[in-house]
Amino acid sequence: MASDPAGRVEELEKRLAVLEAERSILSTLYAYAHTIDYGLKEAWLDLFTEDAQYRVEQFGEVLPFIGVAQPPEGLKGREVLSQYIASHTHAPMLWHKHFLVESVIELEGDGMASVESYFVRLDEDDKGAYVMAYGRYLDKMVKCPDGKWRFQARCCQIESRYPVRG
């Protein structure tokens, strides 16, 4: 740490900026689960840049249908994402919860970041609650002119299959 007061203040400002960026990124990550689980379409869409890419894979293969047809490169742009969120289940017609843990945030400078997180989705049927899926999210995020961090690209890598419940 710098010994002169001005240098110490500058170092503290840099450290504070990193903490604020990480906290803002986490807020976006957390809002994803809350908005998708309760069908808050506009708030969910606002988590993405206008040209965002969203892709869902299972065991390394892009799923061809995720409520809407998904091309090999994934869904691109808010218009297509709007169709996706409109097709996604949500409360109160179907209760489920997306959980996000163990986020590793790498700030890349110039308002860009890469994030890796684990996720679990809990669902319920007439036999009770169960783990529908788990895996990880791989995200590219950008700090937008309004100061909010948004997804520029999100890849949902499903590493489990939902159980056959008989």
CATH of 5-158, one of 3.10.450.50, 2.115.10.20, 3.10.105.10, 1.10.110.30: 3.10.450.50
- For 116-140, what is each residue's pLDDT tens digit? 999 999 998 888 899 999 999 999 9
The Cα 160–Cα 102 span in angstroms is 18
How high is the mean pLDDT of the chain? 93
pTM of the complete model: 0.91
